[in-house]
Amino acid sequence: MTGSLLTGAGGAYIGMNAVYKEKLESMASSDKESEALSKAEVAYDLIVNNYVEKVDKEKLEEGAIKGMLSTLDDPYSVYMDKETAKQFDQALDPSFEGIGAEVSTEDGKIVIVSPIKDSPAEKAGLKPNDEIIKVDGESVKGQDLYEVIKKIRGEKGSKVKLEIARTGLDNPLTISVVRDEVPQITVYSSMKKEGGENIGYLQITSFSEETATEFKKALKSLEKKGISGLILDVRGNPGGLLTSVNSILEEFVTSDKPYVQIANREGKKEQFFSSLTKQKEYPVVVLVDKGSASASEILAGGLKEGADYTLIGEKTFGKGTVQQAVPMDDGSKIKLTLAKWLTPDGNWIHKKGIKPNLEVEQSALYQTHPLQIEETLVQEMNSEQVKYAQEILTSLGYTTDRKDGYFSSQTQTAVKAFQNQHDLKATGTIDATTANKMQEAVRDAMKKEENDIQLQTALHYIVR
């Protein structure tokens, strides 16, 4: 993986030009022939040879590197030890074991950028922008991003308990996730019917080495069948290879404008153009949300400003920097921010995100929170868990007279109705079995296209 730049929210590879490569190789090599010792070298020599106790040289070196990187005040510039670097590379394999969520840092907090489609994280109820407070009961405050990631990842079948803070909730949630194999399938294709028209649909879950190839194959297949429009869905897509997203953009943006620009520290810009002379004959719509980050934003920005295509959904994550993972001799790596990426019109979206042309929020169904049943919820009880249960029942179409956390008789009736329809004993109380079934019902409902307001808006927009 030597010689690759990174643009994912938590770190995903993109291509690098020769100038950057030469510069980084020079930076990575140690200057042993220097005659004058720097302050850092003097300090290192002083500690190693004179400190009252014997020190671990490797730990001292790693501490120095981390200290230098911390002064940059950049959450994306980090040091990875050998073990972390290995896990980092494994995350780019066709499949890996873990919870399946992109994790990053934002304003000193460890946050979920997006759970991967059909991953353990998504099934457990983790959402974009969830802040991780604890991992298995241990606070992550002040810890390095990759130290936290190491604790979260693990073997298939093992369990990790995450305590998270979620916007809009007074108290943290504790979510247990059973680790599993997470396949890296990145392109999902289907044909939608709307108003008698065939609408192509391509969902891109991340931008890996094979994504562009998969995408072009799927697009060609849809076009052969005949489509009146195309929906590109990058909701929940945390980013990936720039070479991959570039190749996709070249299918849609003409040579009249750059589809992305890369700016170095001096402000010098490298513009990327396609050779396309004519746009698609059918309309194209892009679905985005707050989990669309980095390379997804490059796609969204390129299509919005470079091709005047319409974005539908929610404002994107907002990551506009480019990193390089530089390997050290011992297998460790330094991931360093080298450049900014800009939209075709030269806008830097970092910490701002991209605003869609049509802002559309999902229904309450998509805003529900996972239940944590430590004791059975019964009538007359008043708690936050009861409130979450009421929100779930209401979003599924069951009538409750309150949503304030008081377990009323009408709530009990709604619980019984749910239990009857899902082959459960109609007790009117919510134990762990009923809670799991409620959350399963929410996941199933979210997969139904008629409940996806953003998708429905896109379909109606194309055939309007």
Cβ neighbours for 424, distance < 8 A, ≥ 6 positions apart:
418, 433, 434, 437
CA distance 260 to 269: 10
Task: Establish if 249 belongs to a structural domain.
Answer: yes
Percent of the chain beyond pLDDT 70? 91
Query: Do the Cβ atoms of 234 and 296 come closer than 8 Å?
Result: yes
pLDDT at 93: 54
Specify the residue for token string 């980050």. 293
pLDDT confidence bin for 153, thresholds 50/70/90: confident
- DSSP letters, 363-392, are -GGGG------SS-B-TT-B-HHHHHHHHH
Domain shared by 279 and 386, yes or no? no
Query: Do the Cβ atoms of 196 and 173 come closer than 8 Å?
Result: no
pLDDT at 204: 96
User: Pick from 183, 200, 222: which residue ends a domain?
Assistant: 183
**Residue 19 pLDDT exceeds 70:** no
User: Per-residue pLDDT averaged across 193-213, rounded?
Assistant: 94
**Residue 460 pLDDT exceeds 70:** yes
- The answer to which of 178-187, 229-238, 387-396, 421-430 has the lowest mean pLDDT is 178-187
Task: Establish if 404 belongs to a structural domain.
Answer: yes
Question: Which range has the top average pLDDT, 80-84, 238-242, 310-314?
Answer: 310-314
Dihedral, 241, 245, 250, 251 alpha carbons, nearest 10 = 130
Give the CATH number, domain containing residue 165: 2.30.42.10
Other C-beta atoms closer than 10 Å to the C-beta of 451 total 16
pLDDT confidence bin for 10, thresholds 50/70/90: low
Domain shared by 173 and 272, yes or no? no
Selected catalytic residue, list 123, 127, 304, 319: 319
Task: Establish if 89 belongs to a structural domain.
Answer: no
User: Pick from 183, 201, 234: which residue ends a domain?
Assistant: 183
Task: Establish if 70 belongs to a structural domain.
Answer: no
Give the CATH number, domain containing residue 414: 1.10.101.10
CA distance 134 to 110: 10
**Residue 103 pLDDT exceeds 50:** yes
Domain shared by 389 and 416, yes or no? yes
Rounded to the nearest 10 degrees, the angle between the axes of helix 57-70 and helix 39-50 is: 150
Selected catalytic residue, list 261, 296, 323, 439: 323
SS3 of residue 188 by DSSP: strand
Domain that holds residue 252: 187-323+341-363
Cβ neighbours for 230, distance < 8 A, ≥ 6 positions apart:
199, 200, 201, 202, 219, 222, 280, 282, 283, 284, 285
The total domain count for the chain is 3
Selected catalytic residue, list 294, 385, 395, 439: 294
Task: Kindly report the pTM of this predicted structure.
Answer: 0.83
Catalytic residue list contains 294: yes
Domain shared by 177 and 237, yes or no? no
Catalytic residue list contains 296: no
Domain shared by 219 and 354, yes or no? yes
**Residue 2 pLDDT exceeds 70:** no
pLDDT at 240: 84
Domain shared by 301 and 417, yes or no? no
Entry field: residues in the chain: 464
Other C-beta atoms closer than 10 Å to the C-beta of 309 total 21
Q: What is the pLDDT of residues 339-378, one digit of tens each?
A: 999 999 999 999 999 999 999 999 999 999 999 898 999 9
pLDDT at 18: 45
User: Per-residue pLDDT averaged across 425-429, rounded?
Assistant: 97
Domain shared by 223 and 354, yes or no? yes
Which DSSP letter does residue 450 get? G
Other C-beta atoms closer than 10 Å to the C-beta of 255 total 12
Query: Do the Cβ atoms of 317 and 293 come closer than 8 Å?
Result: yes
Query: Do the Cβ atoms of 304 and 259 come closer than 8 Å?
Result: no
Question: Which has more confidence, 265 or 105?
Answer: 265
The closest of 213, 239, 355, 220 to 299, measured between CA atoms, is 239
Task: Establish if 399 belongs to a structural domain.
Answer: yes
**Residue 34 pLDDT exceeds 80:** no
- The answer to which of 21-30, 221-230, 313-322, 348-357 has the lowest mean pLDDT is 21-30
C-alpha distance from residue 173 to each of 77, 134, 147, 163, 241 (Å): 29, 10, 21, 6, 33
- The distance of Cα 238 from the centroid of its chain, to the nearest Å, equals 3
Catalytic residue list contains 412: no
User: Per-residue pLDDT averaged across 233-255, rounded?
Assistant: 93
Task: Establish if 105 belongs to a structural domain.
Answer: yes
Q: What is the pLDDT of residues 155-195, one digit of tens each?
A: 899 999 999 999 888 889 999 999 998 877 899 999 999 99
The closest of 349, 237, 257, 242 to 305, measured between CA atoms, is 257
The whole-chain average pLDDT of the chain stands at 89
Domain shared by 222 and 279, yes or no? yes
pLDDT at 398: 96
Give the CATH number, domain containing residue 319: 3.90.226.10
Domain shared by 255 and 403, yes or no? no
Q: What's the N-to-C CA distance of the chain in angstroms?
A: 46
Domain shared by 373 and 313, yes or no? no
The closest of 153, 118, 117 to 132, measured between CA atoms, is 153
